[in-house]
Amino acid sequence: MLPSTLLLVDSNCLRSSELRNFLNASFENAIVIDHLVLFEIFKKNPLVTSRASLAIAADFIDQIYVIKPTHHWLDEVIMSARDLERLIDSEATKDLRELCQGLFQDPPTDGITSRVEARQAEAVNYVDRLSEEMGEYETALLERAKEFSASELAEIRTGNVVTDETREKINALLYEITGHFILSYQEPNRTKPLSIAIARNMFAFRYALCVVLFYIEWVQLGRGSKKLTKRLNDIVDLQIAAVSTFFSGVASSDARTRTVAKGATHMLAKWGAFIRLTDKP
């Protein structure tokens, strides 16, 4: 059974002294790490970066968990805390805990060095593929996001008195992105409609919700296009925000990630979808 508080963390927060305080406070406090965060840690100067990023985690190895790669659980419907156990990658968790135990030997053993190098190769390959896949989303999303007026954006950001017209625009964009994601990555041949109540407890819908919350504001603020590396960071942050809605929240140094995750969780709770936060809106 999973600990009562399971917080999703990004690569920067893994180094935070506050994380040490959180893990030290109770054995029921634990962290979960997304595979994209691990890729960030190992993609460049892997030995140095992983030692810096995992130093705190290494002191609390029984309180760290790794999530399965997202494409392995796209069809999962998470309706309860018990269902979350299906998202934990037991082998990857065991592997990371073992790595943490051997990572700080100096000099590192050949076994640790080879494992770190293998993780770097996997990380670089994944980031390259992510760069290729993300382009098709951006143009369509940016054009649709421009349909929102400044007043509609204000409604969305505050959550106060959202008009029917604004709600219809949000829903249309949300369902379009969800459908595109499912047909592109989850069930390419699906023709049967998917219940909204079910979809809200699946990754595709929650990722789409985070994309909507992020991009409609991004476009209206006139930020224009970004360099590829910055857009990749956005994709990683959005996935972290989406996955965090299934757990006890997110620990991130990025204010936008925290805002998107909080907004998505708030909306999901109002819709009656499963969330794990104890301070439900």
> What are the tens digits of pLDDT across the range 32-54?
999 989 988 998 899 999 999 99
User: How many domains is the chain partitioned into structurally?
Assistant: 2
For residues 63 and 151, state if they share a domain.
no
Q: What pLDDT does 175 receive?
A: 82
For residue 6, the surrounding DSSP H or E stretch is: strand 5-9
Is residue 257, in this structure, part of any structural domain at all? yes
Is residue 126 one of the residues assigned to a domain? Answer: yes
Tell me which of 131, 154, 179 is where a domain ends: 131
User: Are residues 93 and 190 both part of a single domain?
Assistant: no
Do 96 and 108 belong to one domain? yes
74, 99, 131 - which closes a domain: 131
pLDDT at 228: 46
92-96, 191-195, 225-229, 269-273: which has the minimum mean pLDDT? 225-229
Whether residues 173 and 234 fall in one domain? yes
Residue 145's pLDDT band, with cuts at 50, 70 and 90, is low
Domain range for 148: 134-242+253-270
In-domain check, residue 280: no
Quick one: 146 and 207 in the same domain? Answer: yes
Which residues make Cβ contacts (< 8 Å) with residue 42, sequence separation at least 6?
49, 50, 116, 119, 120, 122, 123
The pLDDT value recorded for residue 28 is 95
- Give the residue from 131, 152, 181 where a domain finishes: 131
Both 177 and 52 in one domain: the answer is no
Those residues whose C-beta lies under 8 Å from the C-beta of residue 15, and which sit 6 or more positions away, are 52, 53, 55, 56
Whether 49 and 125 share a structural domain: yes
Query: Model confidence over 249-270: pLDDT tens digits?
Result: 999 988 889 989 998 999 899 8
* Residue 150 shares a structural domain with residue 172: yes
In a domain, 277, yes or no: no
Q: Is the dihedral of CA 79, 258, 64, 248 positive or negative?
A: negative
**Inside any domain, residue 14:** yes
Per the domain annotation, does 281 fall within a domain? no
pLDDT of amino acid 279: 45
Q: What is the pLDDT of residue 166?
A: 84
Mean pLDDT check: name the lowest of 103-107, 155-159, 202-206, 267-271.
Answer: 155-159
218, pLDDT greater than 80: no
Q: Do residue 181 and residue 216 come from a single domain?
A: yes
Is a pLDDT exceeding 50 seen at residue 239?
yes
Domain co-membership, 22 together with 122: yes
Shared-domain flag, residues 26 and 110: yes
- Alpha carbons 236 and 140: distance in angstroms, whole number: 19
Same domain as 261, residue 155:
yes
Per-residue pLDDT band for 186 (boundaries 50, 70, 90) equals: low
Question: What is the per-residue pLDDT across 55-70, written as a single tens digit (0 to 9) for each?
Answer: 999 999 999 999 998 8
CA nearest to 218, candidates 234, 242, 195:
234
